[in-house]
Amino acid sequence: MEIEKDNELMEKIVSLAKRRGFVFQGSEIYGGLAGTWDYGPLGAELSHNIKDLWWDFFVRKHEENYGLASSVLMPEPVWEASGHLEGFADPMVECEKCKRRFRADHLEEVTEDSSKCPECGGAFGEEKAFSQLFPVEMGSVEGSKVNAYLRGEIAQGMFVNFKNVLDTMRPKLPFGIAQIGKAFRNEIAPREFLFRVREFDLMEFEYFTREEEWEEHFEKWRKEMWEWIDLVGITRDSTHELEVSEKDRAHYSKRTIDFEFDYPFGRKELYGLAYRTDHDLKKHMEHSKVDLRYTDDEGERFIPHVIEPSFGLGRTVLAVLVSAYREDEIGGEKRVYLAFKPSVAPIKAAVFPLMKNKPELQTKAREVYKDLKKAIPQIMFDDNGNVGKRYRRQDEIGTPFCITIDFDTLEDDTVTVRNRDTAEQERIQISELEPYIKEQIETKK
């Protein structure tokens, strides 16, 4: 379905993300490297929060799910066995005049006449398959042969370690192996900010099951993916399931549901849920000659089937930013704020002295800040400009609470806590701050 594009909103989000230290262009001082983005101080906190929430929700809360952190570099035979060397390619066309390259299957999105180059109007050459795998020459001898690849998906780390996990943890079916880590894809046309990039973090797990139970587990994880969408603060009404047709499914999948999100540039993929059958383990067993079968309590040996929920971190960050972005008016003044859930917000609370140049307020504010930071590390101290300006600055980075130390504090140990979303203020005992903020983080999960 086509949704209305909102270029202005996208520009506002990209500009806020840069201005406030969430996301910078990769290698910016050298003109930027296409398809790479770097998380700044606030983006790094935000993405750590998302990864921690994901790991808690999908790994630690499920006793049958095991974590993994495997290597980015994997040898060629892995990709030959998995089918990526042959099947992980996009159709590409190159303009004969300006030599720019485009994804043949995306041309309709960027131009009205898909037979001509959208940049210079030149004619296209023949369509070719363009591999998304990044080759690496391992060993330093010049001109040595490609013998490894940066992983195109982190899933292969789970499959090549399947036997190691079986042997060390002795899990019973069904069970999962999960990891969070970098994946690399040589995208022909990286674009739309964090949406299509060449280096990105993936959060995913392979859930191993008996073949006859795959549908039951597919449904179970489908539901949990929706719970995750609520948990992380992605607008449910802007998220939609799409049953992927056979021709559009990856080479390993017998059923895929995409979770699509209404980004300002259109409705596009956010997450994927795939039934990978026994494709990968079977192929690795054939190619490596290592027995990758599971033995059940009755002594039957077989290759388990796999359900795979897959989540791109960058697309999560983008969908969370879009879902949280708000503009309103307070006291006749316009403001922009990010309505992050407290659990996701990069800064949970900011502590201010009411006035910068009053040493007794500074000392007390520093003391409150230090004590609170011991218990809740994502706390900021701010004494720049007047309190109104500090509120605006914190609103813009999505800080849920601002704590002001004033002259009454010196008398009765109470502070003002101002709520980001309602702009309402309440008076709280200093000793109550830690449980108050922690409770808000927990209950608003």
Residues of the shown chain interacting with ligand GAP in the complex, contacts defined by CB under 6 A: 153, 155, 185, 187, 196-197, 200, 202, 204, 269-272, 308, 310, 312, 314-315
CA 389 to chain centroid, in Å, comes to: 31
Q: Percent helix, strand and coil across the chain, each rounded to 5?
A: 35, 30, 35
CB of 400 to ligand GAP, least distance (A): 27
CB nearer to ligand GAP: give 185 or 348.
Answer: 185
Q: How far is CA 71 from CA 132, 149, 287, 308, in A?
A: 18, 11, 20, 19
* CA angle, residues 385, 391, 396, in degrees to nearest 5: 110
CB of 16 to ligand GAP, least distance (A): 20
CB of 316 to ligand GAP, least distance (A): 8
Give the E-state strand segments of 210-323 in sequence order: 239-243, 255-263, 266-277, 294-295, 301-302, 305-312
CB nearer to ligand GAP: give 66 or 391.
Answer: 66
CB nearer to ligand GAP: give 61 or 251.
Answer: 251
What residues pair up with 178 in beta bridges, in sequence order? Answer: 67, 205
Helices (H), 268-396: 279-288, 313-324, 359-375, 387-396
- The length of the chain is 445
Q: How far apart are CA 129 and CA 279, in angstroms?
A: 23
CB of 243 to ligand GAP, least distance (A): 15
Q: In terms of Cα–Cα distance, which of 104, 109, 148, 151 is closest to 128?
A: 104
CA 184 to chain centroid, in Å, comes to: 14
Tell me the one-letter amino acid at 231: L
Q: How far apart are CA 378 and CA 246, in angstroms?
A: 46
CB nearer to ligand GAP: give 103 or 185.
Answer: 185
CB of 204 to ligand GAP, least distance (A): 6
What residues pair up with 101 in beta bridges, in sequence order? Answer: 94
CB nearer to ligand GAP: give 25 or 362.
Answer: 25
CB of 219 to ligand GAP, least distance (A): 19
CB of 196 to ligand GAP, least distance (A): 5
CB nearer to ligand GAP: give 311 or 340.
Answer: 311
C-beta nearest to ligand GAP: residue: 312
CB nearer to ligand GAP: give 39 or 271.
Answer: 271
In this structure, are strands 349-353 and 401-405 parallel, antiparallel, or unpaired? parallel
Count of CB atoms situated within 10 Å of the CB of 16: 17
CB of 9 to ligand GAP, least distance (A): 20
CB nearer to ligand GAP: give 310 or 399.
Answer: 310
